[in-house]
Copies of this chain bind each other. A is one copy, B any other.
């Protein structure tokens, strides 16, 4: 078990950063970040809150929260979990023959994940609860692992798990070294992301907060198990659901947070404080060459970033590389 985990983690970009970095505090903790305002603000902020002085924050209060899709890994052309869900519709239709005639399942069966992203939110949730329930948590994890072991992102023809943002992995690594508690706060599925958080980001599963289904405890034979039910836990972990869930599950306010879309606005607002330093960061997808350039779903957060003094991170300007497999550009 141990050995397997260690082998797998060599895929993750954090491990790569660790290998390529000499030890010691004098080395650059963020080698894939270009010199600029964003990098400078991060380094200054961490320096301030970890040094004894008026801005010092004790380790237990150094909470950092990161969105996942589009913040830590690539969400284009489609969020990986939606590709998984479309594949589940395909796999489960043999047990649900009515889906062949029933919307929205019929459209997904005919047109694939492209149809799924066209649906309104209520329909997406209906599909999610239908195909991600009716199994134990451990069976679900197996399905996710199996899917991610072979599913590839079309543009780079690489596994989804290879499409993590190297600069963000370095930032997580740096914050952990500075005794931050780093949590993922994802609009996506809690258990989906927990399945990969350790491997991809060295973030343990108990530090993943996300949308989740209701569950039931039962003992089957002699074995206790948790079964996934076809209803969401409220609220969904998007928008104002994020601070609500951060408060419920962690019980602290973030000192640093990072997102990329309008669904992250309230988490970034929750980070602001009159009483202590804070850093709210917005990842801007403006690099059509090395990743994607898109603004849809981010109009509000970009406007607020300007008026609230949040730190905008331009993928094109602030990153010397985006993915671990890319060569760094000066």
Report the bound CA distance from A266 to B225 in whole Å: 11
A208 cross-chain contacts in B, Cβ below 8 A: 251
Residues of B within 8 A of A274 (CB): 222-223
Looking at the complex, which one of B190, B214, B266 makes contact with A217 (CB distance below 8 Å)? Answer: B266
Given contacts A2-B58, A249-B249, contact A244 B272 (CB under 8 A): no
Asked if A97 is at the interface of the complex by the 8 Å CB criterion, the answer is no
Asked if B233 and A248 sit within 8 Å, CB to CB, the answer is yes
Complex CA–CA separation, A214 to B247 (angstroms): 11
Q: How many residues belonging to A are interface residues under a CB distance threshold of 8 Å?
A: 43
| Interchain CB contact under 8 A, B270 and A217 | yes
Chain B hits for A212, CB < 8 A: 248
The answer, yes or no, to whether A76 is at the interface (CB within 8 Å) is no
Contact among B181, B205, B247, B272 with A251 in the assembled complex (CB-CB below 8 Å): B205
| Neighbouring B residues of A233 by C-beta, 8 Å | 248
Chain B residues near A215: list those with CB within 8 A.
244, 247-248
- The answer to whether the Cβ of A224 comes within 8 Å of any Cβ in the partner chain is yes
CB pairs A–B below 8 angstroms (6 shown): A2-B58, A214-B234, A215-B244, A217-B266, A224-B243, A224-B270
